[in-house]
Chains A and B, each alone.
Chain A
Amino acid sequence: GENVEQHPSTLSVQEGDSAVIKCTYSDSASNYFPWYKQELGKGPQLIIDIRSNVGEKKDQRIAVTLNKTAKHFSLHITETQPEDSAVYFCAASIRSNYQLIWGAGTKLIIKP
């Protein structure tokens, strides 16, 4: 079945620097790749997503890139701020945008 691997498990960056989180997926039929941000004690919040017919998508300080050949996708956060500190999850889907296979999560720590 589909498997999604996410790295690193923890990422600490200086405020203002960029952060990159990477995910790989196993099933080449995967066609939808969302990223979620989860703060402590809250549900995941969709921050950006990309579909397999697009290579890159950007929304202000957040961008996602997709390499279908290599079967990996990445989240890029530029000019990081303290409020970016959270756990970030990647996911992939084949059959439906609603049935997701999740990565293990990355705890992002922004150092002041």
Chain B
Amino acid sequence: GAVVSQHPSWVICKSGTSVKIECRSLDFQATTMFWYRQFPKQSLMLMATSNEGSKATYEQGVEKDKFLINHASLTLSTLTVTSAHPEDSSFYICSGGGNEKLFFGSGTQLSVL
């Protein structure tokens, strides 16, 4: 299957700071990438759809000014959690489509103190 690389795998930050998460498709080009959030023991919740070269499409209830998404190239999408607060602590996962299948990164555990 295709490989999606996500970094960092975990990050701890102070409240009020910003955190950037990178998602790269290593062996395919992804015109569309997706960002999910997952709480413990729950399913994946789609946050936004990232389109290369254009603005991201956010799901209802997701603050676009808080979760900044940039998809500058066909292999890289970034999610920046701005002015993070403890309630933003969660597991964030990116995914990209290749060969008509969806592949996921390894996830980023964000802990905001």
Using a CB–CB distance below 8 Å, which chain A residues touch chain B? 34, 36, 41-46, 49, 89, 96-100, 102-105
* Chain A residues within 8 Å of B34, by CB: 98-99
Q: Which residues of B contact A103 (CB under 8 A)?
A: 43
For A102, list chain B residues within 8 Å (CB).
43-44
Complex CA distance for A104 and B41, rounded to whole angstroms: 9
Size category, B interface: 20 to 34
On whether the beta carbons of A44 and B44 are closer than 8 Å, the reply is: yes
By a CB distance below 8 angstroms, the chain A residues around B101 are: 34, 46, 49, 97
* Cross-chain contact B102 with A43 (CB below 8 angstroms): no
Bound CA–CA A12/B106 (angstroms): 26
Minimum CB–CB distance for A104 against chain B, Å: 5
Say yes or no for B110: interface residue by CB 8 A criterion.
Answer: no
B103 within 8 A of A: yes
B106 touches A46 (CB 8 A): no
Q: A99 contacts which chain B residues (CB < 8 A)? A: 34, 49
Contacts known (A46-B1, A102-B43, A102-B44); A97 close to B104, Cβ less than 8 A? no
Known interface pairs A97-B101, A98-B32, A98-B97. Does A43 touch B43 (Cβ–Cβ under 8 Å)? no
- What residues of A have a CB within 8 angstroms of the CB of B91 in the complex? 41
15 residue pairs bridging A and B, Cβ less than 8 Å apart = A36-B104, A42-B107, A43-B4, A43-B6, A43-B104, A44-B44, A46-B101, A46-B104, A49-B101, A89-B44, A98-B95, A99-B49, A100-B102, A104-B42, A104-B43
